[in-house]
Amino acid sequence: MITIYHNPRCRKSREGLTLLEESGKTFEIVKYLEDLLSEEDLKTIISKLDIKPIDLIRKNESTWKSDFKGKELTDEQIIKAMVNHPKLIERPIVVNNDKAVIGRPKERILDII
């Protein structure tokens, strides 16, 4: 099953959703700002992305700049920051079984669907 972690207010996320819709594949939409992700959810997604938690952070978000930038944080602390401040999570994320990509640029989604 394909899942897109989506923020409807984000242009890049909307572009990723459109690409999935045009693919004709069945997929699920998770509006992660409403349906909040747990630490375990994030750890699973990060593992499928094969990245470090810091690579999933939107470093230009004001919350990151004011509360976290420049601090020495463990992976666990970074994941907790994303759980507590979901706007920090890069988007869109598309997961297809055991594979995942951050859909920036949106064409990266084609690699896993």
Is 10 assigned a catalytic role? yes
Rg (CA), the chain: 14
Which listed residue (2, 10, 83, 113) is catalytic? 10
Q: How far apart, in Å, are the Cα atoms of 85 and each of 25, 68, 88, 89?
A: 31, 11, 6, 8
- Catalytic residue positions, numbered: 10
